[in-house]
Amino acid sequence: MTDLRSAPIGVFDSGAGGISVLKRLWALMPNEQYLYFGDSANAPYGTRPLETIRDLTVAAVEHLLDAGCKAIVLACNTATSAAAAELREAHPDVPIIGLEPALKPAALFGDHPTVVVMATPLTLREAKFQALADRFADRCELIRLPAPELVTLVEQNKMGTPELWAYLEDLFAPLDKDSIDCLVLGCTHFPFARRELRAILGSRPVFFDGAVGEAKYTAVVLESRGLRAPDNAVGAIRFESSDPEKLPLLEQLFSFDL
């Protein structure tokens, strides 16, 4: 009988963004096996209809389960909003860990902070985020900032290029940058533009993203279900993409200094 503890953790994103979560998982649990699947052929997800994102996410997760994964980490806020509930219902025995924009720690940071949540249009309009926003409505000044093109720019490996700078300059132009206390990176692609965002926004805003929290929570869930790899196991990562031309990008982003 195969020992489920040695099975891989499936990590899924619409494309390359989930690598920002994979890096945190690997730092925390380097003795695990990981199978990363990025659906770059269909990215970006965040501008698509809900049903399409749900179908794509379900198909990707089924693929990871068929490959023998013991748990699924949805390293994608958009896919979590669209499909986490349905996936958990369909696979009650499999831990399925999701992600949502880190609004809670940002809203609780200081006294009534101004919080900008950058995410995909789908994440910002879906019920999951609405409920979160309602919970913290009286704790902060919330500004929703959809940034769908940033996903495409990261998928195209445009970090540091004039194109990416220009996009971010335009995106923030209507906002009073000096009043932003917290910036929530509510899409796993966005940490790859952290340097440019910091340069544009200056030192004032505190940045929040959910990757470290999701990695820690994954460790807790695996531990509680007796699914952690044995301490002496040797970890490894396998990358897969629905667009084989994106495989080098996945490996390159894994070395990106976040």
> 80 or 229, CB closer to ligand DGL?
80
Burial 129-155 (b: 16+ CB within 10 A, else e): beebbeeeeebbebebbbbbbbbbbbb
Sole binder of ligand DGL in the list 29, 71, 142, 151 (CB under 6 A): 151
The yes or no reply on residue 187 touching ligand DGL (CB under 6 A) is yes
Q: Among 90-98, 109-117, 187-195, 228-236, which window interacts with ligand DGL (CB under 6 A)?
A: 187-195
The whole-angstrom separation of Cα 72 and Cα 36 is 10
Supply the Cα-derived Rg of the chain in whole angstroms. 18
Residue with tokens 């096996």: 33
* Residues 16, 155 contacting (CB under 8 angstroms): yes
Sole binder of ligand DGL in the list 8, 10, 38, 46 (CB under 6 A): 46
Sole binder of ligand DGL in the list 8, 10, 38, 44 (CB under 6 A): 44
Spatial neighbors of 3 by CB under 8 A, at least 6 apart, are: none
Q: Is 69 an annotated catalytic residue?
A: no
Q: Among 8-16, 29-37, 57-65, 241-249, which window interacts with ligand DGL (CB under 6 A)?
A: 8-16
Q: Which residues pair with 230 in a beta bridge?
A: none
The yes or no reply on residue 126 touching ligand DGL (CB under 6 A) is no
Q: Is 76 an annotated catalytic residue?
A: yes
* Residues 154, 252 contacting (CB under 8 angstroms): no
The yes or no reply on residue 20 touching ligand DGL (CB under 6 A) is no
* 57: its two tokens: 């996410």
The yes or no reply on residue 188 touching ligand DGL (CB under 6 A) is yes
Residue numbers annotated as active site: 76, 187
Binding site for ligand DGL (CB under 6 A): 13-15, 17, 43-46, 76-78, 120, 123, 151, 187-189
